[in-house]
Chain A
Amino acid sequence: MARAQSASLDRKKLFGDPVMITTIVVLITFLTLFILYPLAILLVDSIYSPEGGLTLRFFQESFSKYTFIRAITNTLKVGFLVGILSALVGLLFAYVEVYVKVRTKFMGGLFKVVSMLPVVSPPFVLSLSMIMLFGKAGIITRHLLGIYDNNVYGFWGIAIVQTMTFFPVCYMMFRGLLKNIDPSMEEAARDMGASRWKVFTSVTLPLLLPGIGNAFLVTFIESIADFANPMIIGGSYDTLATTIYLQITGAYDKNGACAMAVVLLCITMIMFLVQKFYLEKKTAATLTGKASRARMLIEDKSVTVPLTVFCSMIALFVVMMYICVPFGALFRTWGRDFTLTTRWFEQVFTRYKGFKAFQDSFILSLIAAPITALLSMIISYLVVKRKFKTKGFIEVVSMLAMAVPGTVLGIGYIRGFAGGVFHSGFMQGIYGTGVILVIVFVVRSLPTGTRSGISALRQIDKSIEESAYDMGANSLKVFTSVTLPLIKDSFLSGLVTAFVRSITAISAIILLVTPSYLLITVQINEFAEKGSYGIACAFATILIAITYGSVLLMNFIIKHFGTSRKVKEVE
């Protein structure tokens, strides 16, 4: 039995479709050049030196350094704790939303804000407010509690800030899972005499177990890849991401940095593979059922009161942390002089080239966003709807980018493009320009966009596109006349997500940005490190306003011009 004929026919059909074949070639080139190649060059640089040939020297040197070993243990410790805490808090929030009867509108609003804030804010804003609230000059520690030597820097600082930043992701994941549990399973357990607690431990929890593992690993990866929070609030507590950064910007040890980056990459990659190919499948396998009817919400006060109070406290705490930022920009001297002033906002624009920073960040992100959105929709379309040989490659590589920490990618780009591709000088021209920054933005947002594109497209019956194809439309026509209009909402939100992610990105960018470009996030990081919290907060406030504004704009557009509107009207 040979499948040679169908393979050759499929190939002929593919080549009979020039748009399709061009798209595939362009995609493969892009993914290879900007994701695989930089990582490959890292690997090469970590085991090869021009003088000594193949060597494990750089790994030996790195592992013999106390600082590096400590950075690894630090990173894993933080990642572990943050993973567990985020999963727990996220689960609690989701449980309250899906299972518990919440009486007040206020709670619902609070939950919504909490799930939204981390999306629109730069990832390290919480570190800033943590220092301003609980640091040595912190409002709460120093002024309310009279503690003068509180140390927020280090392990607990990072752990708390990262948990606050990442638990909403877990919350969203669990919310989806819990909604897929058929209530009649739990009702059956209740009916047979189980207490509420017993139902939770014997039915709900076992069903969720793979999902909890999944949430833990996702957060774990986020935590160990996080650069900016440890940078600002880590103090002397170095993690892998910051150590690698210092290794290349401070010590100029390129091979050493590559070796360290490879170690970090290996950790995230293993976690990612476990998560992707083991836990995600298991989660899907145990929870495929659709809820047959609405769940009877828990009204028992002994359950609802403690849960809602606890969640509200966390939520309020998070909200307070964010509110702290604009106030930080409005007080004359944080912690000492609380007279209101617009001086920091003025300084942003007069002294610190704020206008150029916003312009650069804004324009680069605005260029990157549509490219990312379109690219991820094309990849999703090819992955979900079409059948061709190199599909697996495209899917795996674009998802793989999710597991690559920004710092690692940044180092890879430095090594890969500073001297041109393979140090040949080819494409050297893009290094240090806005082009490479845009490419990094695209690569960093591509996995998220592709993932949401894939899930949006899976909702659409495959035969709708087949029918267009069958009626005589070529691939381009099918994509533009059927696929894209049907996932317009997903495309729009992908556009905004890409924009927001780009304008708030820092980890890879900070390694690649040159003085000719001023980026807001890099500025915030710089001022926060120097302790100029007023300026940092002023920058951050404007940035949050921009991102929040674009999300509002997106929601408005989707509500009034989206495809789902027509469908809803009828229903």
Chain B
Amino acid sequence: MSGTQKKEPKGVRLDHISKIYKNPKTGKDFYAVHDVELDIEPGSFVTLLGPSGCGKTTTLRMIAGFESPDEGEIYLGGEPINELTPNKRDTAMVFQSYALFPHYNVFDNVAYGLKLRGIPKNEIRERVTNILKLVELSDMEQRMTNQLSGGQQQRVALARALVVEPGVLLFDEPLSNLDAKLRVQMRTEIRRIQQTLGITAIYVTHDQSEAMAISDNIILMKGGVIAQMGSPTEMYYHPNSEFVADFIGECNFLPCSVIGREGQDAIAEVYGHPVRVRSETTADGKAEIVLRPEAIEIAEQGQLPCRVELSCFMGSYQNYHVRVGDTLVKIADNCPIGRRIFQVGEEAYISFRSECAHLLEV
């Protein structure tokens, strides 16, 4: 196999996977991951997202082989891999702490996996050189890893995983040790490289904006089970629960009752005022309107009366907290310059387009 030939990316299938751990405090067993069913397309970029303790890292480590599932079977490229040790699986992982070998220089770090595979020296040189070019570290081959910045170390870790051309690339919160600016830069980089190589990638993070920016599909987990999966747009605009809506982006929940329908929209009553809301369900009675802060307009006229409780200039937007009935509603009024700025204590109205709102059954 030469450096230019591409190996086919592999799909990953989790067939009703569960992992049981013992709670060290109570001594009781609990499901860290419960009945997770997943089918990851070859060549796609999938993110496991969720708060800490949701089972996302455990799931990733089961795919890598560091943990064994208690129920279910994992398939890599159609082959069951439950019984394989991590070193025999066609996966490569990028670790949160980079996990570079401190006693090797950059070249030897990247070449490590290739040497293990008994690849001839000149081919190793060629492939390592190519991959270092791809991650833009060409002139750093001889550096020791502690002479690199955090971002550079991250690139070495990425190169080391990429160079063995794994069937699937695994990322365990790879950017969490970088500062905010570099994080944004690196995630674009990772996405670019993944698309260039057409490799399958599974990415674990607790940062929803990272997940949104990078993924073809997001799998949001909570308490060991999948809360919702879908494309970033779907997840953002059509969350299936308060948890999903709240975890992905900021969110307001307005209590309402559905009183009628009109085409695609439902007519809902909020604190005695009727509003139109896009709704796929035929729900009746009590419900919640999911409303993103940037989808709300505040003005002297509008749909729902409110009272301003906080008004704060954030640069790119004016941040309001307003009280609608008993509910606190957060508003991000983008590019507020030239518009009327409401002060704390003022009465105002809010309004939104029906397709920006989403109805949740309660």
Contact = CB atoms under 8 A, between A and B. Distances in A.
The 10 A-B pairs with the shortest beta carbon distances in the complex, nearest first, are A9-B68, A471-B113, A463-B99, A467-B99, A6-B68, A463-B95, A472-B116, A6-B70, A485-B103, A464-B99
A395 B32 CA distance: 27
Contact of B87 (A461, A464, A471): A471
Interface in A468-519: 468-474, 477, 481-482, 485-486
B101 A468 contact: yes
Interface stretch (A11-19, A143-151, A552-560): A11-19
A461 B95 CA distance: 11
B12 to A, nearest CB: 15
A1 to B, nearest CB: 5
A192 interface: no
Given A13-B85, A471-B92, A473-B87, A3 B112 contact: no
A32 interface: no
A16 B84 CA distance: 8
B136 interface: no
B248 to A, nearest CB: 28
Given A5-B69, A17-B85, A470 B91 contact: yes
Interface residues of A, number: 35
B20 A3 contact: yes
A567 B147 CA distance: 9
B199 to A, nearest CB: 16
B142 interface: no
A294 interface: no
A566 B102 CA distance: 9
Nearest to A12: B83
A6 B69 contact: yes
Interface in B29-61: 29, 31
A2 B144 CA distance: 46
A384 to B, nearest CB: 15
A482 B109 CA distance: 11
B116 A470 contact: no
A570 interface: yes
A31 to B, nearest CB: 25
A468 B108 CA distance: 12
B82 A9 contact: yes
Interface string A369-390: 0000000000000000000000
A461 B87 CA distance: 19
Contacts of A13: 65, 68, 83-85
B147 A471 contact: no
A5 B112 CA distance: 33
Nearest to A20: B85
20 contacts: A1-B70, A3-B20, A5-B70, A6-B19, A6-B20, A6-B69, A10-B68, A12-B83, A463-B96, A466-B86, A466-B99, A467-B93, A467-B160, A469-B66, A470-B92, A471-B92, A471-B116, A474-B85, A486-B103, A570-B144
B146 interface: yes
Contact of B164 (A9, A472, A474, A571): A472
Contacts of B113: 471-472
Contacts of A566: 103, 144
A241 to B, nearest CB: 40
Contacts, number: 109
B361 interface: no
A283 interface: no
Nearest to B83: A12
A563 interface: yes
A4 B29 CA distance: 12
Contacts of B164: 471-472
A185 B97 CA distance: 31
A3 B70 contact: yes
A470 B116 CA distance: 11
Contacts of B294: none
B101 to A, nearest CB: 6
Given A1-B29, A471-B164, 8 more contacts: A13-B84, A466-B86, A469-B66, A469-B86, A471-B112, A471-B161, A472-B116, A473-B87
A16 B83 contact: yes
A9 B67 CA distance: 9
Contacts of A472: 87-88, 113, 116-117, 164
Nearest to A488: B103
A541 B92 CA distance: 57
A471 B92 CA distance: 6
Nearest to B67: A6
| Most chain A CB inside 10 Å of its own CB: which residue of B87, B91, B93, B164 | B87
A571 B70 CA distance: 45
A464 B146 contact: no
Contacts of A571: 146
Nearest to B73: A5
Contacts of B19: 6
B174 to A, nearest CB: 11
B100 interface: yes
Nearest to A466: B66
Contacts of A1: 20, 29, 31, 70
A6 B31 CA distance: 13
Interface in B1-44: 19-20, 29, 31
B97 A461 contact: yes
A567 to B, nearest CB: 6
B64 interface: yes
A470 B85 CA distance: 9
B71 interface: yes
B99 A461 contact: yes
